[in-house]
Protein backbone atom coordinates (compact mmCIF):
# COMPACT_ATOMS: atom_id res chain seq x y z
CA UNK A 1 0.00 0.00 0.00
CA UNK A 2 2.86 2.40 0.70
CA UNK A 3 3.47 3.24 -2.96
CA UNK A 4 -0.04 4.59 -3.38
CA UNK A 5 0.23 7.45 -0.88
CA UNK A 6 2.65 10.28 -1.75
CA UNK A 7 5.34 10.70 0.90
CA UNK A 8 4.87 14.46 1.09
CA UNK A 9 1.69 16.48 1.31
CA UNK A 10 0.07 19.65 2.58
CA UNK A 11 -1.79 19.62 5.87
CA UNK A 12 -4.65 22.11 6.26
CA UNK A 13 -5.59 21.79 9.94
CA UNK A 14 -6.56 25.19 11.42
CA UNK A 15 -6.45 26.88 7.99
CA UNK A 16 -9.74 28.42 6.87
CA UNK A 17 -11.18 30.97 4.46
CA UNK A 18 -8.80 32.85 2.18
CA UNK A 19 -5.84 31.57 4.23
CA UNK A 20 -6.44 27.96 3.16
CA UNK A 21 -7.19 28.97 -0.44
CA UNK A 22 -3.85 30.78 -0.66
CA UNK A 23 -1.98 27.96 1.11
CA UNK A 24 -3.34 25.30 -1.25
CA UNK A 25 -2.72 27.39 -4.38
CA UNK A 26 0.83 28.19 -3.30
CA UNK A 27 1.51 24.57 -2.37
CA UNK A 28 0.26 23.32 -5.72
CA UNK A 29 2.31 25.91 -7.59
CA UNK A 30 5.56 24.89 -5.85
CA UNK A 31 4.97 21.20 -6.47
CA UNK A 32 2.77 19.65 -3.77
CA UNK A 33 0.31 17.06 -5.08
CA UNK A 34 -1.23 15.67 -1.86
CA UNK A 35 -3.75 17.81 0.01
CA UNK A 36 -4.98 16.58 3.40
CA UNK A 37 -8.22 17.90 4.88
CA UNK A 38 -11.04 16.72 7.14
CA UNK A 39 -14.75 17.36 7.65
CA UNK A 40 -14.14 19.03 11.00
CA UNK A 41 -11.60 21.49 9.54
CA UNK A 42 -14.45 23.38 7.88
CA UNK A 43 -12.34 24.09 4.81
CA UNK A 44 -13.29 21.42 2.25
CA UNK A 45 -15.25 23.89 0.08
CA UNK A 46 -12.36 26.39 0.05
CA UNK A 47 -9.93 23.61 -0.86
CA UNK A 48 -12.25 22.53 -3.68
CA UNK A 49 -12.28 26.11 -4.92
CA UNK A 50 -8.49 26.46 -4.67
CA UNK A 51 -7.94 23.25 -6.63
CA UNK A 52 -10.45 24.30 -9.29
CA UNK A 53 -8.70 27.65 -9.71
CA UNK A 54 -5.18 26.20 -9.61
CA UNK A 55 -5.24 24.68 -13.08
CA UNK A 56 -3.78 21.43 -11.76
CA UNK A 57 -5.69 18.45 -13.14
CA UNK A 58 -7.62 16.40 -10.58
CA UNK A 59 -5.97 13.21 -11.85
CA UNK A 60 -2.57 14.59 -10.81
CA UNK A 61 -3.69 15.20 -7.23
CA UNK A 62 -4.05 13.01 -4.15
CA UNK A 63 -6.90 14.21 -1.94
CA UNK A 64 -7.43 12.96 1.60
CA UNK A 65 -10.37 13.74 3.88
CA UNK A 66 -11.48 12.36 7.22
CA UNK A 67 -14.88 11.37 8.60
CA UNK A 68 -15.78 13.21 11.79
CA UNK A 69 -17.00 11.33 14.87
CA UNK A 70 -20.57 12.66 14.46
CA UNK A 71 -20.77 10.90 11.09
CA UNK A 72 -19.48 7.44 12.01
CA UNK A 73 -22.86 5.69 12.26
CA UNK A 74 -23.55 3.27 9.43
CA UNK A 75 -26.35 5.41 8.00
CA UNK A 76 -24.39 8.69 8.24
CA UNK A 77 -20.89 7.93 7.02
CA UNK A 78 -21.55 7.64 3.28
CA UNK A 79 -23.94 10.63 3.08
CA UNK A 80 -21.36 12.73 4.95
CA UNK A 81 -18.63 11.65 2.53
CA UNK A 82 -20.83 12.55 -0.43
CA UNK A 83 -21.25 15.99 1.14
CA UNK A 84 -17.45 16.26 1.42
CA UNK A 85 -17.08 15.27 -2.24
CA UNK A 86 -19.52 18.00 -3.28
CA UNK A 87 -17.55 20.58 -1.32
CA UNK A 88 -14.26 19.35 -2.76
CA UNK A 89 -15.81 19.40 -6.27
CA UNK A 90 -14.79 15.84 -7.05
CA UNK A 91 -16.53 12.52 -7.60
CA UNK A 92 -13.95 10.58 -5.61
CA UNK A 93 -11.26 11.28 -3.03
CA UNK A 94 -8.06 9.26 -3.03
CA UNK A 95 -8.12 8.45 0.68
CA UNK A 96 -10.79 8.61 3.36
CA UNK A 97 -9.82 8.15 6.99
CA UNK A 98 -11.76 7.62 10.18
CA UNK A 99 -10.54 10.82 11.88
CA UNK A 100 -10.86 9.57 15.46
CA UNK A 101 -12.25 6.30 16.79
CA UNK A 102 -15.82 6.64 18.07
CA UNK A 103 -15.61 8.22 21.55
CA UNK A 104 -16.33 5.59 24.22
CA UNK A 105 -17.21 3.18 21.42
CA UNK A 106 -20.59 4.91 20.94
CA UNK A 107 -20.61 3.58 17.37
CA UNK A 108 -19.18 0.05 17.21
CA UNK A 109 -15.91 -0.07 15.31
CA UNK A 110 -17.04 -2.87 12.94
CA UNK A 111 -20.02 -0.69 11.96
CA UNK A 112 -18.03 2.32 10.82
CA UNK A 113 -15.23 0.30 9.25
CA UNK A 114 -17.85 -1.60 7.23
CA UNK A 115 -19.44 1.68 6.14
CA UNK A 116 -16.03 3.00 5.13
CA UNK A 117 -15.33 -0.18 3.14
CA UNK A 118 -18.72 0.25 1.46
CA UNK A 119 -17.81 3.83 0.51
CA UNK A 120 -14.76 2.40 -1.25
CA UNK A 121 -16.87 -0.28 -2.95
CA UNK A 122 -19.18 2.47 -4.23
CA UNK A 123 -16.21 4.32 -5.73
CA UNK A 124 -16.49 7.35 -3.44
CA UNK A 125 -12.91 6.86 -2.26
CA UNK A 126 -9.97 5.04 -3.82
CA UNK A 127 -8.37 4.02 -0.52
CA UNK A 128 -9.46 3.87 3.11
CA UNK A 129 -7.63 4.13 6.40
CA UNK A 130 -7.69 5.32 9.97
CA UNK A 131 -6.28 8.09 12.11
CA UNK A 132 -5.46 8.28 15.81
CA UNK A 133 -5.91 4.52 16.23
CA UNK A 134 -4.03 2.77 19.05
CA UNK A 135 -2.55 -0.73 18.84
CA UNK A 136 -5.79 -2.21 20.17
CA UNK A 137 -8.04 -0.20 17.83
CA UNK A 138 -5.81 -0.91 14.84
CA UNK A 139 -6.08 -4.61 15.66
CA UNK A 140 -9.87 -4.34 15.73
CA UNK A 141 -9.87 -2.46 12.42
CA UNK A 142 -7.73 -5.22 10.88
CA UNK A 143 -10.21 -7.79 12.18
CA UNK A 144 -13.05 -5.78 10.62
CA UNK A 145 -11.72 -5.15 7.10
CA UNK A 146 -8.29 -6.79 6.81
CA UNK A 147 -4.84 -5.21 7.08
CA UNK A 148 -4.49 -4.92 3.30
CA UNK A 149 -7.52 -2.58 3.20
CA UNK A 150 -5.99 -0.08 5.64
CA UNK A 151 -3.86 2.25 3.52
CA UNK A 152 -2.45 4.18 6.48
CA UNK A 153 -2.84 5.07 10.15
CA UNK A 154 -2.34 8.84 10.47
CA UNK A 155 -0.94 9.57 13.91
CA UNK A 156 1.01 12.19 15.82
CA UNK A 157 4.70 11.47 15.33
CA UNK A 158 7.51 13.94 15.93
CA UNK A 159 10.89 13.83 17.66
CA UNK A 160 9.24 14.48 21.04
CA UNK A 161 6.56 11.77 20.56
CA UNK A 162 7.96 8.86 18.60
CA UNK A 163 5.12 6.45 19.31
CA UNK A 164 7.38 3.43 18.92
CA UNK A 165 5.03 0.74 20.25
CA UNK A 166 2.34 1.69 17.75
CA UNK A 167 4.86 2.18 14.93
CA UNK A 168 6.32 -1.29 15.50
CA UNK A 169 2.88 -2.88 15.61
CA UNK A 170 1.71 -1.19 12.41
CA UNK A 171 4.89 -2.16 10.59
CA UNK A 172 4.47 -5.74 11.75
CA UNK A 173 1.02 -5.73 10.15
CA UNK A 174 2.32 -4.13 6.95
CA UNK A 175 0.38 -0.92 7.62
CA UNK A 176 1.82 2.39 6.41
CA UNK A 177 2.00 5.36 8.77
CA UNK A 178 1.43 9.05 8.17
CA UNK A 179 3.02 11.46 10.63
CA UNK A 180 1.05 14.55 11.54
CA UNK A 181 2.40 17.46 13.63
CA UNK A 182 5.88 16.35 12.54
CA UNK A 183 7.23 19.73 13.68
CA UNK A 184 5.31 19.64 16.99
CA UNK A 185 3.73 23.05 16.30
CA UNK A 186 7.18 24.47 15.66
CA UNK A 187 8.65 23.30 18.98
CA UNK A 188 11.04 20.91 17.26
CA UNK A 189 12.63 23.65 15.14
CA UNK A 190 13.75 25.34 18.38
CA UNK A 191 15.54 22.18 19.58
CA UNK A 192 19.32 22.66 19.87
CA UNK A 193 20.06 19.11 18.67
CA UNK A 194 17.86 19.56 15.59
CA UNK A 195 19.35 22.98 14.95
CA UNK A 196 22.89 21.58 15.13
CA UNK A 197 22.06 18.87 12.58
CA UNK A 198 20.46 21.49 10.34
CA UNK A 199 23.58 23.63 10.52
CA UNK A 200 25.78 20.67 9.57
CA UNK A 201 23.73 20.15 6.41
CA UNK A 202 23.06 23.78 5.52
CA UNK A 203 19.38 22.89 5.97
CA UNK A 204 16.52 24.29 8.06
CA UNK A 205 15.49 22.64 11.34
CA UNK A 206 12.07 21.97 9.77
CA UNK A 207 13.72 20.13 6.89
CA UNK A 208 15.67 18.00 9.39
CA UNK A 209 12.53 16.97 11.32
CA UNK A 210 10.68 16.16 8.11
CA UNK A 211 13.63 14.21 6.68
CA UNK A 212 13.83 12.26 9.96
CA UNK A 213 10.22 11.14 9.49
CA UNK A 214 10.59 10.46 5.75
CA UNK A 215 13.69 8.32 6.33
CA UNK A 216 11.62 6.06 8.58
CA UNK A 217 9.11 5.52 5.80
CA UNK A 218 6.38 7.80 7.16
CA UNK A 219 4.41 10.16 4.96
CA UNK A 220 4.38 13.77 6.20
CA UNK A 221 1.79 16.53 5.81
CA UNK A 222 3.23 19.77 7.21
CA UNK A 223 1.18 22.93 6.80
CA UNK A 224 2.33 26.44 6.08
CA UNK A 225 0.78 29.66 4.89
CA UNK A 226 4.02 31.07 3.48
CA UNK A 227 5.07 30.17 -0.05
CA UNK A 228 8.79 30.18 0.81
CA UNK A 229 8.24 27.81 3.76
CA UNK A 230 6.10 25.51 1.62
CA UNK A 231 8.87 25.31 -0.96
CA UNK A 232 11.56 24.92 1.71
CA UNK A 233 9.70 22.09 3.47
CA UNK A 234 9.37 20.21 0.19
CA UNK A 235 13.18 20.16 -0.10
CA UNK A 236 13.31 17.86 2.96
CA UNK A 237 12.85 15.01 0.49
CA UNK A 238 16.40 15.61 -0.80
CA UNK A 239 18.00 15.65 2.66
CA UNK A 240 19.66 12.47 3.96
CA UNK A 241 20.52 12.29 7.65
CA UNK A 242 23.36 10.06 8.86
CA UNK A 243 22.76 7.07 11.12
CA UNK A 244 24.32 9.04 13.95
CA UNK A 245 21.99 11.97 13.34
CA UNK A 246 18.95 9.67 13.24
CA UNK A 247 20.12 8.10 16.52
CA UNK A 248 20.57 11.55 18.07
CA UNK A 249 16.99 12.53 17.20
CA UNK A 250 15.76 9.19 18.55
CA UNK A 251 16.99 10.30 21.99
CA UNK A 252 14.69 13.35 21.96
CA UNK A 253 11.56 11.25 22.58
CA UNK A 254 9.81 12.43 25.73
CA UNK A 255 6.26 11.23 25.14
CA UNK A 256 5.03 14.77 24.61
CA UNK A 257 1.57 14.47 23.05
CA UNK A 258 0.02 17.62 21.61
CA UNK A 259 -3.19 16.26 20.04
CA UNK A 260 -5.25 14.89 22.91
CA UNK A 261 -8.81 16.28 22.67
CA UNK A 262 -10.79 15.63 25.82
CA UNK A 263 -13.76 13.35 25.32
CA UNK A 264 -12.51 12.25 21.90
CA UNK A 265 -8.99 10.85 22.33
CA UNK A 266 -8.71 7.10 22.95
CA UNK A 267 -6.69 5.49 25.76
CA UNK A 268 -3.24 5.91 24.26
CA UNK A 269 -0.57 3.19 24.19
Is the distance from CB of 127 to CB of 151 less than 8 angstroms? yes
Asked if 64 and 94 touch (Cβ cutoff 8 Å), the reply is yes
User: Any idea which residues carry the catalytic annotation?
Assistant: 41
Separation of alpha carbons 7 and 218, rounded Å = 7
Question: Sheet containing 10-11: which strands, arranged edge to edge?
Answer: 10-11, 34-36, 62-67, 93-98, 125-131, 150-156, 177-180, 219-220
99 is in an annotated binding site: yes
Integer distance in angstroms from the first to the last C-alpha of the chain? 24
Q: Distance between CA 175 and CA 266 in Å, rounded?
A: 20
- Output Rg (C-alpha) for the chain, integer angstroms: 18
Backbone angles phi, psi at 128, to 5 degrees: -130, 160
Q: How far apart are CA 268 and CA 163, in angstroms?
A: 10
Query: Which residues are part of a known binding site for substrate?
Result: 99
Q: Annotated binding residues, as ranges?
A: 99
Amino acid sequence: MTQTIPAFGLGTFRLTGQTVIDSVKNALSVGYRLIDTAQIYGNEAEIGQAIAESGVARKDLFLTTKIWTDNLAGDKLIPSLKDSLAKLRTEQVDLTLIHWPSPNGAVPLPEYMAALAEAKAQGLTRLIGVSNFTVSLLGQAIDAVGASEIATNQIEIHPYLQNRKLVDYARGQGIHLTSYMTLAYGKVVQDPAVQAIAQAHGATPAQVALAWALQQGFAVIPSSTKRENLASNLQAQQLRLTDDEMAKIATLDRGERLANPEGIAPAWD
